[in-house]
Amino acid sequence: MGSGHSDTAAAFTAHKILIAGGFGSGKTTLVGAISEVRPLRTEETLTTASVGLDDLSGIGTKTTTTVALDFGRITIGSRVVLYLFGLPGQERFSFMWDELSYGALGVVILADVRRLSDCFPSVNYFERQRLPFVVAINCFDDAPRYDTEEVRLALDLDSDVPLVLCDARDLSSVKQVLITLVETIAARRSGVASRTVTPRT
């Protein structure tokens, strides 16, 4: 042995889905809506010191921000556990993204149409990483409604990237987003996976 590894049979296998998106886009809410356990919250209160760093316009009264990891777990049957990890949204935390992406099945990128540009870094990053992702527009009560195709254009998404509407507070809605993601991952693998990426016109 020597390296500290055992031949102990794994009691379960752990799998990871990332929840990305801009600051205040609802990542924590989404994880909390579906997870078996409340996520580990490592939130810090925004003080006046961070107002210059974290753009607060258009996100209502949110006064805390997730600075570290926020995760929840969903037990699937007896041998599979699915973990949802919220990625720290701000680009200044992007040094953590590489580690968090390691071994991830795929990504849900949450978008807030009032601040669509906040999810540009995530979209860019996961396109480069070639990780399967879906974009979920979190329908905030007071946000304007846009046609999903307008959003697709604005994000310059490939046609095979699913774009869905969701309510991050609602279990069945969040469930549907995750199902869409896992179906996308599965579809990519079966045949579609071998398709070469065609340059966009």
Partner 1 sequence: MPPGDKWRRRDSGPVVRPYAVTGGRTEPAADEMLDLLTVVVGTGQPAAADDPARLTPEHRKILSLCGQQITVADLAADIALPLGVVRVLLADLILQGAITVVRQRPAGQRTGNDVLQEILNGLRAL
- Residues forming contacts to partner 1 in the complex (CB under 8 A) are 3-16, 34, 40, 68-69, 71, 73-74, 76-77, 80-83, 85, 99-100, 102-103, 105, 171, 175, 178-179, 182-183, 185-186, 189-190
Measured from the CB atom, the residue of 19 and 155 that comes closer to partner 1 is: 19
**Residue nearer to partner 1 on the CB measure, 24 or 72:** 72
Distance CA 70, CA 130 (A): 23
Nearer to partner 1, 102 or 200 (CB): 102
Asked if 136 contacts 110 with a C-beta cutoff of 8 angstroms, the reply is: yes
Residue type at 15? H
CB count within 10 Å of CB 177 equals: 24
The smaller minimum CB distance to partner 1, of residues 148 and 180, is found at: 180
Smallest distance from the beta carbon of 8 to partner 1, in angstroms?
Answer: 5
| Paired residues of 35 in beta bridges | none
| Smallest separation (angstroms) from partner 1 to the CB of 39 | 9
Q: Which residue, 116 or 187, has its beta carbon nearer to partner 1? A: 187
Do residues 108 and 182 make contact, with C-beta atoms less than 8 angstroms apart? no
Alpha-carbon distance of 107 to 105, in angstroms, equals 7
Contact 27, 21 (CB under 8 A): yes
The least distance separating partner 1 from the CB of residue 120, rounded to whole angstroms, comes to 26
- Least CB distance from residue 143 to partner 1, whole Å? 26
> Checking DSSP bridges between strand 64-66 and strand 43-45, what pairing results, if any?
antiparallel
Radius of gyration of the chain (CA): 18
* Minimum distance, C-beta of residue 77 to partner 1, in the bound complex (Å): 6
